[in-house]
Structure 1
């Protein structure tokens, strides 16, 4: 059996402090505003910096369960625990002089019969990620 994993890495430089960038990206309930692939977010529980939630993705309105860990002003780790997507998305904040680099790294695969479409979905997720990062950058810099 071949495992089709999609690794995607997108970076954008933002003209702002890491604190300012964190303010926007750590508001994970606001995710659908920037991430067009996420249609809806429903928090199920919160324990410290870990949030369990159900997200509805744009792909066929599929529901996925996620466990999100916030590492203040550094990174957000979203693990897909159940649903059509398996793996994780990590959003990192990297100080860079008086600017900040925002990086999103995906390491995912589609589950079950859909796994063979991981390659096709990869391009879709990559362009969605680029679009989201650009929207976040514009929101912060305006």
Structure 2
């Protein structure tokens, strides 16, 4: 398993951040490696979806569970990566929130020679997503 951990403190309330990260239908706006999504099932806080990821357009299946105002837990069921991604929120103050993103993945359909590249791209994409989420949240409070 490969682990990737990134975090960012954002000048926005937990509610503002939650509005963004819990709207999983808009994930492609924040997560650059996610080309498209098609929801298979939505039931309360559970979403199952098919996705197209990466520059080669690989398909996969994801299961997402929303834990309101705490976390978004995603399981990568099928596809080039298998494992999980957790987005956890921590209130640091009335107008400050920490976002932590943790990946725990296996490269199920990625050749060994390309795994370093994919890991680096995933790290970069996670940092970019945190930046985009922060910008969106900070723009909403204006």
Q: 1:106 aligns with which of 82, 103, 107?
A: 103
Q: CA deviation at 1:120?
A: 2.6
**2:127 is equivalent to residue 122 of structure 1:** no
Quote how far apart the aligned CAs of 1:115 are.
5.1
**Pairing partner for 2:81 from 61, 65, 85:** 85
Q: How many residues align?
A: 137
Cα distance in 2 for residues equivalent to 1:104 and 1:83: 20
The normalised TM-score by structure 2 is 0.91
**Residue 42 of structure 2 is aligned to residue 21 of structure 1:** no
Residue-by-residue CA offset, 1:74-105 (whole Å, 9 max, x unaligned): 00011011111110111111111231001111
Q: Which residue of 2 aligns with 1:11?
A: 7
Instruction: State the 1:109 CA deviation.
Output: 1.5
Partner of 1:41 in structure 2? 37
Any gaps of 5 or more consecutive residues in structure 2?
Answer: none
Unaligned runs of 5+ in 1: none
Instruction: Tell me, yes or no, if the aligned pair for 1:6 and 1:119 is still in contact at 8 Å.
Output: no
TM-score by length of 1: 0.91
Superposed CA deviations along residues 96-137 of structure 1, whole A, max 9, x for unmatched, are 12310011111112114x252333311110001001100110
- Aligned-pair Cα RMSD in Å: 1.2
Separation (CA, whole Å) in 2 of partners of 1:118 and 1:50: 30
Q: Give the secondary structure class of the aligned counterpart of 1:36.
A: coil
